[in-house]
Amino acid sequence: MPELPSVEVYKQYFDSCSLNQIIKSVNFESKEILTEKPARFRKVLDGCWFTSSGRYGKYLFAHLDNGYSLIMHFGMTGFLEYDSIPLRNPYSRFSIHFQNKHVLAFIDPRKFGKIGLTRSIDDFITKKKLGPDALDISYQSFKEIFKKRRGMLKPLLLNQNFIAGIGNLYADEILYQSRLHPLIPADELKPSQIKKLFSSTKKVLKKAIDYMDKPENLPDSYLLPHRYIGGECPCGGKINIIKVGGRTTYFCPECQKSL
């Protein structure tokens, strides 16, 4: 599933190819991913252009000159593709055709993504009950999340109502860099461990963006290049695989000991 680093990379891609181009038409190859009727999208988008973009958690917002924003959530397999017309990707679910004879397509093989519209990003975030963005959250807010809850550490990191943007892949890396076992109860963390978890969250997500969200290319001291069945931790130990909150979890029992 595209997580915060993926969406930030998509944002950079979107900005490089789709800003300040007049929209000629909009196509709907899979209407089930839309949160509103197609006619509404045509009314808002046709003849307008994107002025800028923003990201919050796993959501990408493409801001239009008329005050609306196109909302994109990429589900499990979504991404953007900009190409000349005709579009050749069979997994396009929603496409924006520009007057320059190019098209921006929302590609999503499994069709779990969503496309919507809003006039207020703040209202959308409130309606979705999203927590602070993982790259913007303050240490004080972060600390309050973990010191008051008895749940296991990893599910709390994944809960978008507490922190927006972290998914299964980077949660494993954040916990590895923090040297914390994924099953540790959050309210048993020491202040120093919370501080380490906070700094690791920022470090891992920024590093992933720097590496264009290609986990296999991260430094060898990271878990993700070794995150596969039979993989070895950088310390030389064997990586274990368990289920935590229903999610497949990779960790090193030598580096990430339980309390």
Decide if 188 is catalytic. Answer: no
- What pLDDT score does 53 carry? 99
Decide if 247 is catalytic. Answer: yes
User: Going by CATH, does the domain composed of 139-251 fall within 1.10.1060.10?
Assistant: no
- From the candidates 11, 55, 58, 93, give the one annotated as an active-site residue: 58
- From the candidates 24, 43, 247, 254, give the one annotated as an active-site residue: 247
- What pLDDT score does 74 carry? 98
Mean of per-residue pLDDT scores for the chain: 97
Contact 222, 129 (CB under 8 A): no
Whether the predicted pLDDT of 219 surpasses 80: yes
Decide if 215 is catalytic. Answer: no
4-128 matches 139-251 in fold: no
Q: What percent of the chain has pLDDT over 90?
A: 95
Q: Please, what sign has the CA dihedral across residues 138, 206, 196, 153? A: positive
18-38: pLDDT as tens digits? 999 999 999 999 999 999 999
* Burial state string for 70-108 with b = 16 or more CB within 10 A and e = fewer than 16: bbbbbbeebbbbbeeeebeeebbbbbbbbeeebbbbbbb
CATH code given to domain 4-128: 3.20.190.10
Tokens of 101: 């004879």
Q: Please report, for the chain, the start and end positions of each structural domain, with discontinuous segments joined by +.
A: 4-128, 139-251
Q: 155 CB contacts (<8 Å, ≥6 apart)? A: 244, 245, 247
Closest CA to 92 of 61, 118, 82: 82
CB atoms within 10 A of CB 237: 12
Contact 72, 59 (CB under 8 A): yes
Whether the predicted pLDDT of 259 surpasses 80: no
- From the candidates 2, 5, 132, 155, give the one annotated as an active-site residue: 2
Q: How confident is the model at residue 258 (pLDDT cuts 50, 70, 90)?
A: confident
Q: How confident is the model at residue 235 (pLDDT cuts 50, 70, 90)?
A: very high
Whether the predicted pLDDT of 47 surpasses 90: yes
3-state SS, 78-136, equals CEEEEEECCCCCCCEEEEEEECCCEEEEEECCCCCCEEEEECCHHHHHHHHCCCCECCC
Order across the sheet with 23-27: list the strands: 23-27, 92-98, 102-107, 79-84
For residues 5-14, average pLDDT: 98
Cα 31 to Cα 61: distance, rounded to the nearest angstrom: 19
174-199: pLDDT as tens digits? 999 999 999 999 999 999 999 999 99
Cα 37 to Cα 50: distance, rounded to the nearest angstrom: 20
For residues 32-59, average pLDDT: 98
For residues 40-68, average pLDDT: 99
120-139: pLDDT as tens digits? 999 999 999 999 999 999 99
Whether the predicted pLDDT of 205 surpasses 80: yes
Say what the pTM is.
0.96
Decide if 2 is catalytic. Answer: yes
